[in-house]
């Protein structure tokens, strides 16, 4: 029996993708979002929510699967690979071709990094962020590492008591809050693309899903599942991050986890439980959720250069035109890649490896 879609998770995927777009449009295209500018400039914190949401959604999908069994774990890995690998390689190839066309590519870098790129190991090299296309696809490396470890996490965490899960959640969150302080104090390299810390965020998502499904007598948890809690959490997330920027806090996205993690915890708990009956079978939302990952990856491609040329032909100094143009190009690109590349390849691989 197919599990009922959790509409709140679909909405969150779309919102996270939109926030990342706004962040990139500010960074690459100088788009102006008025009073939200300071918050949008910190829009990369959406990746923290993304990894937490990924862990949460994966547990909801596989909670009834026994991932100790070889057949189940094999199916899990094949499905995850089909979901992410073909799209990744397509984006990587297109990006590389574009680099060669504009003369930015260095053949020696590509040759040295080819095994790293092929095996999606970018995030394991902390200083590699600025080379080739690692600045845009580091998170693919991180999420693949999370997928590899997921069966073990589900098996172990499912056997723990709720109290132990809460203690573990506090410990994991504490590590995430403490790490950027150490980094900042000793002026170390940024940990934004570090797979270990992204795995911890992913683990928080799994723990939240398990606690959310089993705990029913907690007043705090029951309140977190309400619309009031959701509104408060979103308001605090936006206002406190904006305030932090106005106070001159360093633009270290992981340092803002002191705000982001508690708010994202409350938001995910709420969105995992709040019913949206009017949107339950909304095909537009389902489609937007389905292409949200493609929409994000599409921004790795040179859409900003294309958008700039288009705007130069229309109204180069009009902020609304810049936003609409770049958004439209990105959406059209995501839809085309999803329909003509991702879907055909995924369907072929599913028939070949999952229909047996």
Calculate mean pLDDT across residues 187-192.
Answer: 90
Q: Which range has the worst mean pLDDT, 61-70, 80-89, 164-173, 213-222?
A: 213-222
Q: At what angle do helices 134-157 and 195-214 cross, to 10 degrees?
A: 40
Listed by start position, the domains of the chain span 7-273+285-353
Q: Note the pLDDT tens digit of each residue in 133-154.
A: 556 678 899 999 999 999 999 9
Q: What residues contact residue 224 under an 8 Å CB cut-off, 6+ apart?
A: 265, 266, 269, 270
Calculate mean pLDDT across residues 53-74.
Answer: 92
Whole-Å CA distances, 19 to 16, 114, 315:
5, 31, 24
Residue 218 pLDDT grade (very low, low, confident, very high; cuts 50, 70, 90): confident
Are the C-beta atoms of 261 and 173 separated by less than 8 Å? yes
| The pLDDT of residue 129 is above 80 | no
Q: Burial code of 13-24, b = ≥16 C-beta within 10 A, e = fewer?
A: bbbbbbbbbbbb
Rounded CA-CA distance 41/24 in Å is 9
pLDDT given for residue 109 in this prediction: 78
pLDDT given for residue 103 in this prediction: 64
pLDDT given for residue 1 in this prediction: 42
Q: Is the pTM of this model over 0.75?
A: yes
| The pLDDT of residue 132 is above 70 | no
Calculate mean pLDDT across residues 122-143.
Answer: 77
Whole-Å CA distances, 200 to 92, 206, 285:
27, 10, 29
Length in residues, the chain = 356
Residue 261 pLDDT grade (very low, low, confident, very high; cuts 50, 70, 90): very high
Q: Which of 80-94, 103-117, 229-243 has the highest mean pLDDT?
A: 229-243
Calculate mean pLDDT across residues 172-196.
Answer: 94
């Amino acid at each position: 029996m197919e599990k009922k879609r959790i509409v709140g998770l679909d909405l969150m995927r779309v919102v996270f993708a939109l926030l990342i777009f706004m962040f990139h449009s500010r960074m690459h295209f100088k788009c102006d979002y008025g009073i939200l500018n300071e918050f949008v400039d910190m829009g990369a914190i959406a990746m923290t929510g993304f990894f937490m949401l990924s862990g949460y959604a994966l547990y909801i999908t596989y909670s009834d699967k026994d991932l100790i069994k070889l057949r189940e774990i094999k199916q899990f890995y094949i499905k995850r690979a089909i979901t992410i690998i073909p799209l990744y390689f397509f984006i990587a190839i297109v990006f590389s071709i574009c680099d060669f066309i504009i003369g930015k590519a260095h053949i020696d870098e590509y040759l040295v990094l080819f095994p790293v790129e092929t095996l999606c190991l970018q995030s394991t090299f902390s200083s590699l962020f600025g080379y080739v296309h690692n600045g845009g696809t580091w998170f693919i490396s991180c999420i693949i590492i999370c997928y590899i470890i997921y069966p073990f996490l589900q098996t172990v965490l499912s056997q723990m008591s709720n109290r132990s899960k809460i203690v573990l959640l506090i410990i994991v969150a504490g590590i995430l809050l403490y790490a950027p302080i150490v980094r900042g104090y000793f002026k170390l390299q940024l940990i934004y693309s570090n797979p270990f810390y992204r795995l911890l965020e992913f683990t928080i998502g799994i723990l939240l899903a398990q606690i959310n499904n089993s705990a029913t007598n907690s007043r705090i948890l029951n309140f977190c599942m309400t619309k009031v809690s959701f509104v408060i959490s979103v308001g605090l997330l936006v206002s406190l991050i904006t305030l932090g920027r106005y106070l001159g806090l360093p633009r270290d996205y992981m340092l803002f986890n002191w705000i982001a993690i508690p708010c994202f915890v409350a938001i995910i708990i709420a969105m995992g439980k709040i019913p949206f009956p009017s949107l339950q079978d909304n095909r537009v939302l389902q489609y937007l959720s389905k292409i949200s990952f493609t929409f994000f990856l599409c921004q790795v491609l040179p859409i900003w250069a294309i958008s700039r040329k288009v705007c130069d032909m229309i109204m180069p100094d009009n902020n609304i035109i810049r936003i609409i143009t770049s958004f439209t190009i990105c959406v059209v690109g995501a839809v085309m890649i999803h329909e003509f590349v991702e879907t055909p390849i995924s369907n072929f691989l599913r028939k070949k490896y999952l229909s047996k």
